[in-house]
Structure 1
Amino acid sequence: MNMKRLSLVVFIGIFLMAGICGDALAQQKVIKITYSDHNPPNAWCTVNGTEPWLKRIEKATDGKVKIERYYAESLAKGTDAWMGIKTGVVDMAWCAQGYWAGVTPLSDVITLPFLPFKNGRQAGGILWKLREKYPEIQKEYADVHVLVFHATPPISLITSKKPVKTMEDLKGLKLRVLAGPPTDVFKAMGAVPVLLGMPDVYLAMQKGTIDGSGIPLGTLEIFNLYEVAKYWTHVPITTSYFTVSMNKAKWNSLPPDIQKAITSVCGYEGSRTYAWDFHDSYDQPVRKEMADWVKKGGQKLEEYDLPKAELNRWIEAAGRPVWDRWVAGMEAKGLPGKAVLADTLKLIETEP
C-alpha cells in the first residue's frame, strides 16, 4: 500500500472514530430521569398540568435532561410511589401523601376539615411556605427531594346507592378517603373510611365494595367515576395534597447547573402554577365529559348542594373537634401542631 493510500485510510479511520466518540459524548450529556404517575396520559390533568410542567423542566435544562414518562401505574403503583422514590425504583414520582398514614403528619394540617382555602393553588403555596418555616416539616421529607407541592380545592362526595343530604345519611357508608384527618372527619360523622388507591375506586364502586368516595373534582374525569356514581353532594369537607419528588441520590448526582435549572420551575411559584393547571382549572372539562356521557345514554349524576345549616352541623361534629384532636396528637409527639395550624389559618387570610 503506498503512503498516500495509507494516509487516506488512517484519516478516514480517525474521522469515523471521532464521530463515534462525538455521538457517545453527546449521549452522555443527556441525563435520563424516570417519572412515575398513577394518572392516565390522556387525562385533562396530565395534558394541562403535568406534561407542560415536565416540558418546562426539559426546556429549562436546554434539553440536557430527558424525562421518561410512565403514566397509569406502568412503572409503579400510586400507593408504592413514595417507597419507589426512596429506594430508587423511580427517579421522580407523583405522590398522594394521604396514602401513607403518619409519614408527613405535620403536613396533614392542609387536610384538616372545613379549612376555607380559596383553591388548590393557594393550599399548595401555603404548604411550601410552612415547609420553609418549620424544620419539623422539612424532616418529613428528608429522604427525598421535593420539587413541588400541589393540592386540590376542597373535595366533595360521590355515592352509588343513596344520596347524602344529612349527616345521618353518612352512617355506615363505606367511603374511600385518605389517611390522617380525612379519615378522622368521616369517622366522626359515622361513615366507615376505606383507604384505597384512586385508580382502584371505579372497580370498587362498581362491585359495591365501597359506597362512595371523597373526591377532588378532577377525578370524575381522570377515572371516569361519573359512570359508577349516581349522587354527587357538594360539600367542602377536606383537601388532598401531593408532591412531585425525586430520589435524593439521583438529585445529588445532578450537576449544579442542572439542579438550578430544574429548581427554577419548582418551589413556591412552581407549586402554585402546577396546582392551578392540574386541579383548579377542572370545572369545564369535567362538565363537558359528563354531558357527553349523558348524550351517549349514560346516567346523569344527581347533584345536591348541602345547605349552610346542615354544613354547620357537620362542622360542629367533625370540624373543630378534629382540629383539636390533631393538635393534641402532634403536641404529644413533640411536634408544633398548634403553631402550624395557627400559621395555616393566617396564611389562608393573606395568601392569594
Structure 2
Amino acid sequence: MKKYLAQAAVAALAVGFATETMAEEWNVSLWGKRRAFTEHVEKLAELVSEKTGGEFTLNISYGGLSKNRENLDGISIGAFEMAQFCAGYHRDKNPSITVLELPFLGVNTLEEEVAVSHAVYDHPAVQADLARWNAKLLMTSPMPQYNIVGTGEARDELAEFEGMRVRATGGIGQAFSAVGAVPTSVTATEAYNAMESGVVDTVAFAQHAHFAFRTIDQATWWTANLNPGTVNCPIVVNTDAYEGLSDAHREALDSSVDEAIAHYLANYGELLNKWDSVLAEKGVQKVELAESEINKFRDVAAGPIRDKWIADMTAQGLPAQELYDLVVSTLEAKRAE
C-alpha cells in the first residue's frame, strides 16, 4: 500500500511540475497609462490568455519596469520579454525604421500606416538591425499624422514658426527645424510640464497623446491640417524569449497580432470621431493652414530631409533607397486594394 501511495505522490508531483513548466509569464514594458496607443497590447494579452487557457500571460506594466527611452535596452538584456518604444527616441539604435518617420511620406490613414510599417519590419535589413538588440519586431502602434497644440496667438503661417519651441521628435522635429522652429525631444510623459513651464511653446502629438498627456488642457489652438508626419513605435519581443516559447504558445502570440491591430484601429477611430467635440468643449481654436503654406513646408522639408536620410543611411551600410522605395510601393499597393 505504501508503495502505491509513494508512486501516486511522485506522479502527482510530476504533473505539478509539468503544469508549472507549461505555464508562461511575460513582462511587458509600456509607459504613461492605458490609452488608445496601448490598446493593441492589452488586446493581445487578452487573446493570448484565452487561446492558451491562461497558460500564457502578458503582465503589462506602465512605467514600472523601465523608462520609455530605455525599453529597447531592457529587451536586449532580457530584463522583460516585450516592450514598446518609439524610433525617434534613439534614432542611432534603430536607424532602419526611421524611414517611417520621414516627413510628408503621404500616409493618410491608420490602415496605410500599418501596411507600410509591417512591410518595413519584414525587410531582412530591418530585422538584422533590431537583432543587434536581441529584438524581434512584432507589430506597429499606428498613429495618425501629428499636429501641434499651442498657447497664445495661433500660428497659421509658416513664417510664424521661426523660433517656435516645439516638442517634436524624429523626422517631424527635423521638418520643424527646416522652417526655423526649435525642436526639443522631451518624452511624452514630460510634455505637459515642458509646456506648462514654458520650455516649449507647442507640442506635436497624435490626438490620443494630446488627451493622455493632457497637453490639450493647456492649449488655446490646434493645427487641423499641418500633417507633417508621424512617429513609428513598434512592439518588440526579446528574441530568446520568443524562440523559447512552445509551438502552441508561439502560435497563440503570432495569430493574435492581426486581431489586436484590428481592435486598435476600431478603438482609435472612436477617439478621432469625438476629437472635434473635445476641442469645442475646451475652447480650443481649430487652425487650418492655407494649402500654399503647407506646400511651402513640404518643399522645404520633404525632399531635402529624405535625400539626406538616404545618403546617411547608405553610408551606414543600410539599403536606404530600397527601404524608402518599399514604403512608396507598399502605399501604392494598399491604395489599389
Is the pair's TM-score, using the shorter chain for normalization, greater than 0.5? yes
Task: Indicate the SS of the match to 1:136.
Answer: helix
CA gap of 1:302–1:76, structure 2 versus 1, over 3 A, is same
Match of 1:3 in 2: none
4+ runs of 1 displaced by more than 3 Å? 9-25, 269-272, 277-281, 285-291
1:182 aligns with 2:165: no
CA gap of 1:160–1:15, structure 2 versus 1, over 3 A, is farther
Contact 2:91–2:98 under 8 Å retained in 1? no
1:208 aligns with 2:198: yes
Cα distance in 2 for partners of 1:231, 1:93 equals 33
Cα distance in 1 for partners of 2:212, 2:309 equals 31
1:221 to 203, 211, 219: 211
Is 226-235 or 323-332 further displaced after alignment? 323-332
Cα distance in 2 for partners of 1:333, 1:69 equals 35
1:124 aligns with 2:105: no
1:74 aligns with 2:57: no
Q: What's the CA shift for 1:198? A: 0.5
Cα distance in 1 for partners of 2:127, 2:49 equals 27
Contact 2:156–2:289 under 8 Å retained in 1? yes
1:255 to 240, 246, 253: 246
CA gap of 1:60–1:289, structure 2 versus 1, over 3 A, is farther
Cα distance in 2 for partners of 1:114, 1:328 equals 18
Give the AA of the match of 1:85: I
Q: What's the CA shift for 1:62? A: 3.5
Contact 2:44–2:260 under 8 Å retained in 1? no
Instruction: Show structure 1 runs of 5+ residues with no match.
Output: 1-6
Task: Indicate the SS of the match to 2:140.
Answer: strand
Cα distance in 2 for partners of 1:95, 1:279 equals 19
Cα distance in 2 for partners of 1:54, 1:226 equals 30
1:33 to 9, 26, 35: 26
Give the AA of the match of 1:259: R
| Higher CA-based Rg | 1
Cα distance in 2 for partners of 1:332, 1:316 equals 25
2:272 to 283, 288, 300: 283
Contact 1:38–1:78 under 8 Å retained in 2? yes
Contact 2:279–2:286 under 8 Å retained in 1? no
Is 307-316 or 142-151 further displaced after alignment? 142-151
Q: What's the CA shift for 1:15? A: 6.4
Contact 1:230–1:301 under 8 Å retained in 2? yes
Q: What's the CA shift for 1:190? A: 0.6
2:303 to 320, 339, 342: 320
Instruction: Show structure 2 runs of 5+ residues with no match.
Output: none
Match of 2:88 in 1: 98
Task: Indicate the SS of the match to 2:85.
Answer: strand
Q: What's the CA shift for 1:222? A: 1.7
CA gap of 1:19–1:214, structure 2 versus 1, over 3 A, is same
Q: What's the CA shift for 1:334? A: 3.2
Match of 1:4 in 2: none
CA offset digits 1:198-245 (Å, max 9, x no partner): 111111111111111111111122222211222211211111111111
Contact 1:49–1:277 under 8 Å retained in 2? no
Cα distance in 2 for partners of 1:189, 1:154 equals 18
- Aligned pairs (5 A) from 1:1-352: 22-41=15-34, 43-46=35-38, 48-71=39-62, 73-132=63-122, 134-142=123-131, 143-179=134-170, 181-234=171-224, 235-266=226-257, 269=258, 272-273=261-262, 276-277=265-266, 279-287=268-276, 294=281, 299-352=282-335
Is 279-288 or 244-253 further displaced after alignment? 279-288
Cα distance in 1 for partners of 2:81, 2:318 equals 30
Contact 1:150–1:271 under 8 Å retained in 2? no
Contact 2:150–2:201 under 8 Å retained in 1? yes
CA gap of 1:23–1:300, structure 2 versus 1, over 3 A, is farther
CA gap of 1:62–1:170, structure 2 versus 1, over 3 A, is same
Cα distance in 2 for partners of 1:120, 1:147 equals 17
Cα distance in 2 for partners of 1:14, 1:100 equals 57
Contact 1:58–1:64 under 8 Å retained in 2? yes
Q: What's the CA shift for 1:39? A: 3.4
Task: Indicate the SS of the match to 2:25.
Answer: strand
Is 11-20 or 229-238 further displaced after alignment? 11-20
Cα distance in 1 for partners of 2:100, 2:246 equals 34
CA gap of 1:245–1:226, structure 2 versus 1, over 3 A, is same
Contact 1:125–1:272 under 8 Å retained in 2? no
Identity of aligned residues (%): 19
Cα distance in 2 for partners of 1:341, 1:284 equals 32
Equivalent pairs counted in the alignment come to 332
